[in-house]
Amino acid sequence: MNWLTEPFELLIYKRALLAAIIIGFTNGYVSAYVVLRKAALKTGSLSHALLPGIAFAILIFGLTPWSAFAGAVVAALIIGLGSLMVSQTSRIDQDTALAVLYTAAFSAGIVLLGYVNAPGELEHWLFGDIRGMSDNDLWTVFIIAAASLLVLTLFQRPIIVMLFEPNVARSLGIPVTIMNYVLFALVILVLISSLQAVGCILALGLLVTPAATMLLFTDSPLRLFWGGGILGTLCSVAALVISYWLDWPTGSSIVLILGAVFVIAFLISPKYGVLRMLRQRHHHHESHA
């Protein structure tokens, strides 16, 4: 088992392992909400909208973990809430408004990068490198993870009711509007907290793929939450080991392995897999032959 434990003899990999467990589980758990809410494309738009915020904050305050983090939060809130405001005050729906705003914002971010004397560390925010996370980064990730998991676990039942039956939720006294804003804020924070692991370009993959994969195995929302968290953790840790031995970028490795597991599940899932569907069709044709 030396090949498995050898990477974690190094301090940076011990820290990266802890980060992979926290980030992988939190993103996997929250991904159930994103998938059930059918908000993957909106979340992806927000992940790309983070670039101008990061670039502008670095341009003004220099590159520090807090400046980049704060810039990403502000950018996500402006684009997300801006699209909501446009949809509520015009005939443009939120998806269309979000598409216009995030592409414009991403373009502005690319332009701003030309004015930033960006050292190599900026690449951690754009493409991710979980090995470059500091102790302060870990604490930030841990606090966001703890808060997000606490809220989602304590209010899991009303959240599920709200997702499937919003009118019933309102009749039961569940504050649907407030809860939507709170959950939207949590998704943004979880998304941003994982940027140094996978980068703003690939963050969507980590925040959607775990629950999308579990959806091929179960119809239970509870299993979707916890299964997504476990899958996110396992794939993140596996990617850390693989990236060490193959010298692959860690952020890309995490999303690549999650994608590979999704494809395998899509093929072999005993509940909704393609192979099962083909076997059923084959038996159906034989029975009518």
Q: What are phi and psi of 153, to 5 degrees?
A: -80, -45
Q: What is the mean pLDDT of residues 52-63?
A: 81
Q: Give φ, ψ of 139 to 5 degrees.
A: -65, -40
Q: What is the pLDDT of residue 231?
A: 96
What is the dihedral sign for C-alpha 159, 70, 132, 239?
positive
* Per-residue model confidence as pLDDT tens digits over 8-33: 778 888 888 999 999 999 999 999 99
SS3 content of the chain, % helix, strand, coil (to 5): 85, 0, 15
What pLDDT score does 266 carry? 92
The whole-chain average pLDDT of the chain stands at 84
Instruction: State residue 121's pLDDT score.
Output: 57
Maximum Cα–Cα distance across the chain: 73
* pLDDT tens readout for residues 89-116: 888 887 788 888 888 888 888 788 777 7
- Confidence bin at 229 (pLDDT 50/70/90): very high
Identify the pLDDT of residue 284. 63
Q: For residue range 245-286, what is the model confidence (pLDDT) as tens digits?
A: 888 888 889 999 999 999 999 998 887 888 877 777 766 666
Tell me which residue of 161, 63, 55 sits closest to 111, measured CA to CA.
55
pLDDT at residue 4, rounded to an integer: 73
- Region 194-213: mean pLDDT is 86
Cα torsion angle, 98, 92, 160, 152, sign: positive
154: three-class secondary structure by DSSP: helix
* Terminal-to-terminal C-alpha distance of the chain: 53
- pLDDT winner (highest mean) among 18-27, 120-129, 173-182, 277-286: 18-27
288 pLDDT tier (thresholds 50, 70, 90): low
Confirm if 138 and 18 have CB atoms less than 8 A apart: yes
Count of CB atoms situated within 10 Å of the CB of 179: 16
> Domain residue spans in the chain?
2-287
Q: Which CATH superfamily is domain 2-287 in?
A: ABC transporter involved in vitamin B12 uptake, BtuC (1.10.3470.10)
Mean pLDDT computed over 158-176: 87
